[in-house]
Amino acid sequence: MSDESRPSPAQTPVAAVIPAAGRGVRLGPGAPKALRALNGTPMLIHAVRALAASRHVSLVIVVAPPDGTAEVKSLLDAHALPERTDFTVVPGGDSRQESVKLGLDALPPEYGVVLVHDAARPLVPVDTVDAVIEAVRDGAPAVVPALPLADTVKEVEPAPEAGAPEPVVATPERARLRAVQTPQGFDRETLIRAHESVTDNVTDDASMVEQLGLTVVAVPGHEEAFKVTRPLDLVLAEAVLARRRLNDGF
């Protein structure tokens, strides 16, 4: 489908790419992070459900650990997921950036809006997902959910060895800083162009769009969209799930 024949972002269907191919080194030894359980359900399934909860999302592309594609397909088959959503599983790469690119390679032509969401952010609320989609549909080429920082941030001269003292070189003005989450939302062509032309190693997709010289906009993120990175994050995630169950009356 050509750019001209694809409907405008306001009408086009939305696909989500979920990179889930990381090992989870910072979480400690065990299965790939996305396959580890949170209250008995794999983190990846929580993340897939979180994105599929949006009535706008009609396709979810899961980027699985390279040796775990069959396992991920079985997990998706074994868990209840919305029937109106299609699912595709592809093997991932050595970096998050490469994994997202492999997910984009599987994107059918009719999807004009694409979300990229970390499997490691399993508890993002649907209102955050919808706020990102709405901002892309309103015309922003790239949208990130973001939160103000609770801590003061220092720029340091990194020490050659971990744990050694590091000279502080600056204190950026905190009011202008935001901690950025996912899902990040994009106009399809913008994201594909970014992944084709930016080769630097980056930590998120929106920064690739910034490198194209385009404006990225931030919408309010949510504290429950935190990334499960270290062991304490698992404790927090299970506490959030327990609180949700109480609030839902289970």
Ligand X SMILES: C[C@](O)(CO)[C@H](O)COP(=O)(O)O
Ligand Y SMILES: Nc1ccn([C@@H]2O[C@H](COP(=O)(O)OP(=O)(O)OP(=O)(O)O)[C@@H](O)[C@H]2O)c(=O)n1
Q: Which residues bind ligand X (CB under 6 A)?
A: 96, 118, 180-182, 203-204, 227
Q: What are the residues facing 217 on neighbouring strands?
A: 143
User: Which parts of 91-120 interact with ligand Y (CB under 6 A)?
Assistant: 92-96, 99, 118-120
Q: Which of ligand X, ligand Y, none does residue 82 bind to, with CB < 5 to 8 Å depending on kind? A: none
Q: Which of ligand Y, ligand X, none does residue 122 bind to, with CB < 5 to 8 Å depending on kind? A: none
**235 touches 244 (CB < 8 A):** no
- Cα dihedral 93, 17, 228, 185 in deg (nearest 10): 130
Residue closer to ligand Y, measured from CB, 3 or 94: 94
Report in angstroms how near the CB of residue 206 gets to ligand X at its nearest.
Answer: 8
The token duo for 248 is 């839902």
Q: What are the residues facing 51 on neighbouring strands?
A: none
- CA distances to 92, 165, 237, 244 from 104, rounded to whole Å, are 11, 42, 28, 33
Give the span between the Cα atoms of 225 and 188, in whole angstroms.
23
* Distance between start and end Cα atoms, the chain: 46
Q: Which of ligand Y, ligand X, none does residue 99 bind to, with CB < 5 to 8 Å depending on kind? A: ligand Y
Q: Which of ligand Y, ligand X, none does residue 20 bind to, with CB < 5 to 8 Å depending on kind? A: ligand Y
**24 touches 32 (CB < 8 A):** yes
Give the span between the Cα atoms of 193 and 209, in whole angstroms.
8
Report in angstroms how near the CB of residue 104 gets to ligand Y at its nearest.
Answer: 12
Report in angstroms how near the CB of residue 182 gets to ligand X at its nearest.
Answer: 5
Q: Which of ligand Y, ligand X, none does residue 204 bind to, with CB < 5 to 8 Å depending on kind? A: ligand X
Residue closer to ligand Y, measured from CB, 124 or 131: 124
Residue closer to ligand Y, measured from CB, 23 or 243: 23
Give the span between the Cα atoms of 233 and 74, in whole angstroms.
26
Residue closer to ligand Y, measured from CB, 9 or 48: 48
Interface residue list for ligand Y (CB under 6 A)? 19-26, 33-34, 63, 92-96, 99, 118-120, 227, 229
